[in-house]
Every structure is written in structure tokens, then in C-alpha cells.
Amino acid sequence: MAEVFKGEAMSVQGFKKQVAIKRVLPHLAQNKNFISMFLDEARLGARLSHANIVTVFDIGAADNTFFIVMEFIDGCNLKAVIEEHRQQGRRIPVKEAVYIAIEACKGLSFAHEVQDDDGVDLHIVHRDISPPNILISKRGEVKVTDFGLAKATTQLEKTDPGVVKGKFSYLSPEAALGEPVDMKTDVYATGIVLWEMLAGRRLYLGETDYQTVKLVQQSNIPSLSRINPEVDAELERVIGKALEKDTTKRFQNARDFGDALAHYLFSRQLKVTSFDVANLVKWVIDSKKATKSGQKPEQSIIDRLIQEELLRFTSLDDVEKAVTIGQDSGDKDGAAPLDAGLFENPADWFADDNDVQNAVETRARDQNHGPRWAETGVEEPSDLSDILEDKSEPPPPRASMPDKPPVTSAPEVAPRVSSPPAAPAAPVATAEPAKLKTSAEDARDRPAEAPKSNAMLYVAIAIVVIAGAGAAAYFGGFLG
């Protein structure tokens, strides 16, 4: 019915101001009824000077048509905000949605209560509250616009009885039935807008206009908390009261509805200001620019991390198809059960080492011959693991060479450390050449010491025992 231009209002001394110019389409300029309704909008807009209502500066005629000069809102309308969130699979946050509804209620409350110059209420009803008619600036300002269908006592064009005006999806039940409307109709429409912001979908939308009107007449409201878990019972109760089919149970005016929403925010200690709404509008505008330029809109760090975790998530049913991000696909073991045959037996670590096996055999024979020290409660070692963790052997001293070369009359030393030693003889008073002891003999003659708790010490003891046995075997062969 009209087209809107962005323009500049210029005055003396270089005064400029950005404005919006709404002009009636040429083919409607000859329609007297439409022109009368257009003039009603201009007259009402000139009276409505409020921070949450788009201001009307002037009205004029040119080229056989009329135009209205209005305040220019640099931002977007609420419909663009809802659609952008829906397309990206997101919802408008609860506190921002409630704040936008509160600001809209402030503008509507002023329009409902405005008076003429004589102090008489004008009883203005917008009758076309919908997302396209709620504008939001880049600074987070929320403004109601388009009072072209508004009904007031000062209207030049009277509404015909039974004529339904407004967008079908945002009608109130009484308006859909052709009954008289008042300010409670705007309350119902604002409730629909808030419901759709939180649900991310339309409330009343049939396949045809007739079906849409029938849905409005029935006024069946789905549970909002089931659609959006962030909506609690209290907020759903407030919105449900605004959407009551019975006008006597509904909020009686926009002031009461806005006050109930403000009480909800304060009771939940939810901080929200125009700065939060400004960030919301900036995100929508940037997303639209990125879409037009063919670029993917930049995600926040939190959104990116959430998306990465969702990509990593794998169902248990699809574990065979699981592929780690950043790696090539291939066969995966998945959640395969543990196989005991894949584990190593520590007792087999030195199975191929002859020196270790000889030491094991020597130790076994030493335990069965002659007296020895043993601690109470300590079990007899029977394998290599017990030798490595032996608690009765201190580190043996290294075998030393005698000060003088050995003589041929020196007693024979066993050529192998594995041969069992002879029974101990009585000490002789005469001096004899020094006799080398094997590590096994030295260990047998030394008392047991307190157990050590350091596993590394036990490993060192085993290494020294093996080294000593090898040295004894070497020197035994040399002396023989």
C-alpha cells in the first residue's frame, strides 16, 4: 500500500537529519478511503511522542500523492531477528526476548492512555502489533511503528462493523470473530510475539488464511516450556495470561502485562539492558551481510567449541563407523574386550638369559643347603620375581685381587658358580693365601637386613649379584 525511502531533512546553516519517507503508492492515491486511513496514521503519529514509538515529523503531498516524514531507525525489525535465529537453529535468549516485550508494552501503554488537548482519552488501539512493526535500532532501542490500522475516537475513517483488520496470525480471538476490540487486543498480539520469540516458530499458521483465522478463534496455546526448556513455569504463566481467550481473565492493559514481565526479570535477578539487545541486533546484521557476501558468519568461541564437541560425539550404535576428527577413516577397534593373551608375563622377561637362569638355579640350591637367615613370615622365593624383590640380600662387595700372586698350592675354586660349595672347614691358624668368595657364598654368610621399599634398589641388587657371579666365574677359571 505504500513504499518507504531513506532521505535527509535539510534546513538552514547546513542542518541535516536522516529520516524515513513513507509514500502512498500512486494507484492508491485516488482511493479516498485509503487516503483517509493514511491521514489517520499521520495524525495519530504526530500525537504519539514517546521513546518506544516511531516519531512522525511531518506530512505532505507531492506528485498527486501523500507522504509522511518519520523518524529513521537504523537497525532492523523484530521479524528479521526471529528469522535469522530460526535459520541458524538458535532461539532468542529469554531475558532479551522479555526485555523487547517490555519495551513494546511501554510504547503501547502510552498510546492506550494518550489524551487530546482537552484531556479526553483517545482510546487508541494499534490492532496490528506484529514482528515487522516492532523496530530495533543498533543501540538496542525498541520502537513500535505503523499505526495505519489504529482505531481511535478521532479517526476520519470509521471502521466498518464486522470488518477484520490486521495480520491474521496476530489477531485476537475477539477480532477474528468480528467483535469490538480494545486495548486488550494489543495485549494478546504482544503475547503472541513474545511466545514466538521464545519458541522460534509461529503460533498460528494454517495452510490458508481461513485456517489461520480458525486457529486464532480456537486459541489453543501449546506448552511453551516443552518447546523451550529455558522457559520456566512462572514465565509461561505470565504469557498464558496475556493469551487468555476470555478477555476478563487477560491482562487488562499493556501496563499490567509489562509490569508482570519486569517483575519476572527482577525476581530471577536477570540483568538485561539495551546493550544486550544492541549486541543481538549487531549479530543479526553481521550475519545478513555475511550471507549476502557468500561468507559464513563468524561463530563465537563458545559456539565453535560446542560445534566441535557435537562433531566428535559418536553413537554407540555407530561405533564401527567412528572416525576421529583430523584423521583418515579406517578400521577401528571400538570398544573391543580386553584380551589377556596380549599382556606380558614378567617371569618370561629373562627366559633367554643364561646368566640369569644360572643365578636362579644357584639360588634355589642355596636355599636347600646349609643354615641361613630368614625373616619371620617371608615366603621362600621360587622364581625370578622373588629374586628381583629379595629382601635379605644387601649389595655384595666386589671381589678384590690378592696382594700377592696366588701359589699352586692354593685350594681349588669351583670353575662354575653353579657348583654347590663344600661344607665349611674349621679355621686354620697358619696363614693362607686369600680365597675369593663367590657371591652366593658371601650372601649365605651375611645376615639378612631389613626389607627395602624402593623397587629400584632391588633391581640394582639383582644386577650386582649377576655381575658378581660372572666375576667369580672369571677369576675362578683364571686361578684354576
Q: Please state the rounded mean pLDDT for residues 180-191.
A: 95
- Measured distance between the N- and C-terminal CA atoms of the chain, rounded to whole angstroms: 124
Beta bridge partners of 135: 77, 143
Instruction: Mean pLDDT check: name the lowest of 21-30, 95-104, 157-166.
Output: 157-166
Q: How confident is the model at residue 469 (pLDDT cuts 50, 70, 90)?
A: confident
Contact present, 325 and 311 (Cβ < 8 Å): yes
The answer to whether 443 and 396 have CB atoms below 8 angstroms apart is yes
**pLDDT value of residue 279:** 95
User: Does pLDDT of 428 surpass 50?
Assistant: no
* pLDDT band at 409; cut points 50, 70, 90: very low
For the chain, give every domain's residue range: 76-293, 346-424+433-479
Domain 76-293 homologous superfamily, CATH = Transferase(Phosphotransferase) domain 1 (1.10.510.10)
H or E element that contains 470? helix 455-479
Given a cut of 50, is residue 365 above it in pLDDT? Answer: yes
Q: State the catalytic residue, choosing from 40, 128, 146, 442.
A: 128
Nearest to 399 by CA among 295, 351, 470, 325: 470
Task: Indicate the range of 44-58, 151-165, 189-203, 400-414 predicted with least confidence.
Answer: 400-414
Q: Residues of 125-163 as b/e, b for ≥16 C-beta within 10 angstroms?
A: bbbbbbbebbbbbeebbbbbbbbbbbbbeebeeeeeeee
Mean pLDDT of the residues in the chain? 77
Average pLDDT rounded to a whole number, residues 3-15: 87
- CA–CA distance, 95 with 434 (Å, rounded to integer): 96
Average pLDDT over residues 86-111: 95
Q: Is 128 a catalytic residue?
A: yes
Looking at residues 45-57, what average pLDDT do you find? 90
Q: What percent of the chain has pLDDT over 90?
A: 39
Residue % of the chain over a pLDDT of 70 = 64
Q: Per mean pLDDT, which of 161-170, 229-238, 437-446 is the most reliable?
A: 229-238
* pLDDT for residue 73 is more than 80: yes
CA atoms within 13 A on the CB side of 180: 4
